[in-house]
Chain A
Amino acid sequence: MGYPYSHASEVSIISKHFGDPDARTLEGWKKRGGYEGLQKALQMGPEEVIELVKDSGLRGRGGAGFPTGLKWSFMPKDSKKPHYLLCNADESEPGTFKDRELLRWAPHQLIEGCAIGAYAIGAEQIYIYCRGEFFEANQVLAKAVEDAYEAGILGQDVFGSGKRIELTVHAGAGAYICGEETGLMNSLEGRRGEPRIKPPFPAAAGLFGLPTTINNVETLSAIPHIVAKGSDWYRKWGTEDSPGTKLFCVSGHVRRPGNYELPLGFPLKELINEVCGGVVDGNALKAVIPGGSSVPILSADQVEDCLLSYEGVQEAGSMLGCASVIVMDETTDVVHQVMRMSSFYAHESCGQCTPCREGTAWVTNILKKLLAGKGTEEDLTTLMELTDQMTGTTICVLSDSVAAPVQSSIKYFREDYQKLIKGGEVNG
């Protein structure tokens, strides 16, 4: 169920026990059907588990939407080297707040998903890289992991199967870029969290240079249900290309912000107006960021027919990302918010690539200049050219993430910029 509010349109699979403290305990989790998926997986061959996940069509929930089963199948089969499963719990994309709920309400769901994943790819060691700031949620997960060890669900002999699966919870130390998969690997190895050049891809050379699969918390949390109930069951929801359910994190100017689990393909307008109770104070909608701060902004017109699936949001002109819907009403100063996002990226740029290190700061300075009423029409041209040069020219996509809101806001909210250029203020 949604947290802190629920809605009748929801399909609660991974969020079913949000707000239910008893579900955090091992006994409580087992009573709710917990660890049936893992026990079933252990009866199947690893290949069979991968095929099942492939058939379910589950796509990575961290933002890129890469098919999970396919990712697992890239792991070398006959290699004698140790394999790793990494869980990315370094949730830090502005607008996203789903993983913390999954960690603190359903820690055993994640542990189970991790164990199934490790079994499928032949890994004996799992690391869950948790965001350091999530102190409270991390302690809930840590306690659940200890309980799982004690019950023989993790360790030398998982459920008496003879399989060894170790799990370590590792806390990060505050760096957005460590949410990027190779940045996370470097960070876990005790280095600066600078993303690596790909190839080699993690399946060939990942953590400690060994074959590694990395999945998001939400992706792994869905695995136990898919394994227990089958791929056809999971495909009952969502679309052909985006099967299943997804947590939508809605924030900003709505009456009932929060996490809602909905089938993929759900209409964005209905999410805002029905599920979230509409825009605050009866104001008109101005803009929506559908997938976290790194994706293009949608204008109110584009929201009209937008369906929240990977392909649907793309058709509307943006990306589903991690389904973090940030709603802005008519009182919003779009340029100020874009500046706030770009200053975030300037702060979080790791500094390896020149277009990003210099570009993020430069973009922020130009936006500040515009907001101070000192901008010119030429600045808009500079912003467009600059962000063009920041797209596709760097090791990771942090740089592209600045370009997306800047370019889309200039495209759809040019008037807001022009008012600033003429010396007037936007929206009082």
Chain B
Amino acid sequence: MKAPKFNPGWAGNIGEYELTEAEIRGEDFVGERPLEGGHPSASATYPYMLETKDPKAKLFEGAYLERFEKIVTRYPEMRAALLPTLSLAQEVRGYVSPQTMDEVAELLELSSAYVRGVATFYTMYNKSPVGKYLIQVCTNISCNLCGAEDVLRTFLEETGTELGEISGDGCFSVVEAECLAGCGFPTCVQINSKYFENVIAEDVPEILATLRNEQSTDPRKKSLKE
């Protein structure tokens, strides 16, 4: 059984509503989020998963330091800022290495062992480097009923990788994701920060070609270049 062909979609642009991609993704409303985090109440809602990663970047400086300082003000204890801080570190560096965990521990006055224990509990922290685009394919029940395993297989074949590997050109890593809460739009695929929905195996080459041609999925790509 295959899902009907509508698109390689974004957030469910299949039904009765005439909406643009920006409207569906909320980009028209959100605009470009400021690097320094905006109002403190919203500073812990990142991370972006960026194409550009700098594993040697400092934790933290400039606008990122500002955001970190805002995050810390929102909790009665430093420890509570741990998850947002790890996320921020990953946004900057692309993954969270043991070394990064130690640096975060120091920033928040926690022990290294404690931070490692927490960081390894959560799947969104990449423990090793990933490609420019991290492709996460949901294969849980609702997507599975509609051909998710074919989609995953095709992503692996077309990128020439095994699960979790980085492709030769550094462009892609493909992983299997647990339910992404897009069950009504099978198969749901998260590529960096964006959802692609109603994806069927036949869509995969087109999606990869678009990404290869550097049509950016970074919501903040423009500001990074400036």
Q: Judge: A and B partners, yes or no.
A: yes
Binding site for B on A (CB under 8 A): 3-6, 19, 21, 24-25, 91-97, 99-100, 104, 130-143, 145-146, 149, 154, 166-176, 187-193, 208, 249-253, 256-259, 280-281, 289, 293, 324, 326, 328-329, 331-332, 337, 340-341, 344, 347-348, 350
9 closest cross-chain pairs (CB), A and B: A4-B15, A190-B82, A174-B124, A142-B42, A173-B122, A251-B142, A251-B183, A174-B123, A190-B79
- Which residues of the partner chain B approach A154 to less than 8 Å between Cβ atoms? 41
B122-A174 in contact (CB<8A): yes
Which chain B positions have C-beta within 8 A of A293? Answer: 140-141, 179
Task: Known contacts A171-B47, A191-B118; decide if A19 and B19 are in contact (CB<8 Å).
Answer: yes
CA distance A371 to B75 in the complex (A): 48
Identify 6 residue pairs between A and B in the complex whose beta-carbon atoms are under 8 Å apart, listed by A's number.
A96-B183, A97-B185, A136-B11, A176-B178, A188-B83, A190-B108
Q: How far is the CA of A172 from the CA of B79 in the complex (A)?
A: 14
Q: From A24, which residue of chain B is reached at the shortest CB distance?
A: B29
Contact A252:B11 (CB < 8 A) given known A146-B42, A171-B46: no
B26 interface residue per 8 A CB criterion: yes
A135-B48 contact given A169-B41, A249-B184, CB 8 Å threshold? yes
Contacts known (A3-B15, A24-B26, A167-B41); A190 close to B118, Cβ less than 8 A: yes
How many A-B pairs have beta carbons closer than 8 Å: the answer is 231
Q: How far is the CA of A338 from the CA of B183 in the complex (A)?
A: 17
Chain B residues packing against A (C-beta within 8 Å)? 1, 11-17, 19, 23, 25-26, 28-31, 33, 38-42, 44-49, 74-77, 79-84, 86-87, 108, 110, 117-118, 121-125, 139-142, 144-146, 178-186, 190, 193-195, 219
* Chain B, Cβ-Cβ closest to A328: B145
* Complex Cα–Cα for A188 and B83 (A): 8
Given contacts A95-B183, A133-B190, A174-B122, contact A340 B87 (CB under 8 A): no
Contact of A344 among B30, B117, B140, B146 (CB under 8 A): B140
Is A340 touching B139 in the complex (CB atoms < 8 A)?
yes
Query: CA A143 – CA B25 in complex, angstroms?
Result: 13
Q: Which residues from A are CB-within-8-Å of B178?
A: 92, 94, 176, 344, 347-348
Contact A173 B124 (CB under 8 A): yes
Distance (whole angstroms) from the CB of B34 to the closest CB of chain A:
10
> Which residues in B have their C-beta under 8 angstroms from that of A149?
39, 41
Compute how far the CA of A167 lies from the CA of B44 in the bound complex, rounded to whole angstroms.
12
Q: Which residue of B lies closest to A208 (CB)?
A: B76
Contact status A337-B145, CB under 8 Å: yes
Q: Are A252 and B142 in contact (CB under 8 A)?
A: yes
Please tell me if the beta carbons of A143 and B1 are within 8 angstroms of each other in the complex.
no
Find out whether the CB atom of B29 lies under 8 angstroms from the CB atom of A326: no
Name A283's closest neighbour in chain B (CB-CB). B1
Residues in B with CB closer than 8 Å to A170 are 44-45, 74, 83-84
B29 pairs with A337, CB closer than 8 A: no
